[in-house]
Amino acid sequence: MELLPLVCLCLLSCSGDARVTVLVKEDGDAVLPCLISNKEDITGKLFDWRKVESQKENKEVFMYDAGSHYNNGRPGQDDQFKGRVSHFQDQLQNGNASIKITRTKMDDSGNYSCDFPRHQPSQPFIVELLVGAAPEPNIKTLDHKPDWALLQCEAHGYPPLRVEWKDSAGKTLPAEEPQISKQGRYSYVTVNITVTKTDDYSCVATQKNISHQVAAVIPVHIQGEILPSCDLICKSFKHF
């Protein structure tokens, strides 16, 4: 039996709008929770999941009616969700109308309603799905002199991300202030850094709220790098 997230929710007994937010990485699976608070057996009931596009427009995501649903021949499901949505048959007896959306895409982000139309009063349960994405950062050299190099990292993603420069040892390096802009849902971040040592430098983009991290590496050779003198090295050995 597949385990559902440990989320404490109420549906039909709640006053006002009940909401929960689900975060998932792009191409991952998302479980959208919906439970009747009294754990009534809903095997013979009707429940309907829709994606709320506007006040007048919704997309059919998943409908279950006493055993009939979109995965066993029932018509009406929106093309965006065909073959990607399932329910938890063994949990219906516990009042659980949750669904799972597989291979999530950015376009899946939005508000979803879970409703029991034949239950009075009808009170849809609203779930916000946030699908995160952050492709590998783009690194380039803006300028290169004998004793330094100016590097630039460009990264974008959703939800917002933190961008850092690191050396080959994994140490976070001081860099210029990030330049941040937005286009639609995406945040675009540009961070420049000046380095003075030969090393492999990484630009790391992190999205903490979905536990997602991507990185790109660029090797840099500094021709005029000042190396420790023989006298200094010898003194270091003598010290030990």
d(CA 71, CA 77) in angstroms, rounded, equals 9
Its CATH class, for the domain covering 138-220, is: mainly beta
Q: Which residue has the higher pLDDT, 135 or 145?
A: 145
User: Do 20-132 and 138-220 share a fold?
Assistant: yes
Dig out the tokens for 216 from the structure.
């790109």
- CATH H-level superfamily of 20-132: Immunoglobulins (2.60.40.10)
The reported pLDDT for the residue numbered 225 is 63
Q: Which H helix or E strand runs over 237?
A: helix 230-239
Total count of residues recorded for the chain: 240
The reported pLDDT for the residue numbered 6 is 31
Residue 87: CB atoms within 10 Å: 21
Let me know if 226 is exposed, middle or buried by CB neighbors in 10 A (0-12, 13-18, 19+). Answer: exposed
Let me know if 76 is exposed, middle or buried by CB neighbors in 10 A (0-12, 13-18, 19+). Answer: exposed
Dig out the tokens for 140 from the structure.
């380039």
Nearest CA to 144 out of 191, 178, 194 is that of: 194
pTM above 0.75, yes or no: no
Tell me the residue ranges of DSSP E strands in the chain. Answer: 19-25, 30-32, 46-52, 58-65, 68-69, 85-87, 99-101, 110-115, 125-132, 138-145, 148-157, 162-166, 172-173, 179-183, 186-195, 199-207, 212-220
> For the segment 132-143, what is each residue's pLDDT rounded down to a tens digit?
888 889 999 999
Q: Residue 123: which pLDDT band, with cuts at 50, 70 and 90? A: confident
pLDDT surpassing 90 at residue 108: yes
| Contact between residue 92 and residue 40 where contact means Cβ atoms under 8 Å apart | no
pLDDT surpassing 50 at residue 165: yes
Number of C-alpha atoms within 13 angstroms, CB side, residue 46?
A: 7
Give the domain ranges of the chain.
20-132, 138-220
The per-residue pLDDT of the chain, averaged, comes to 84
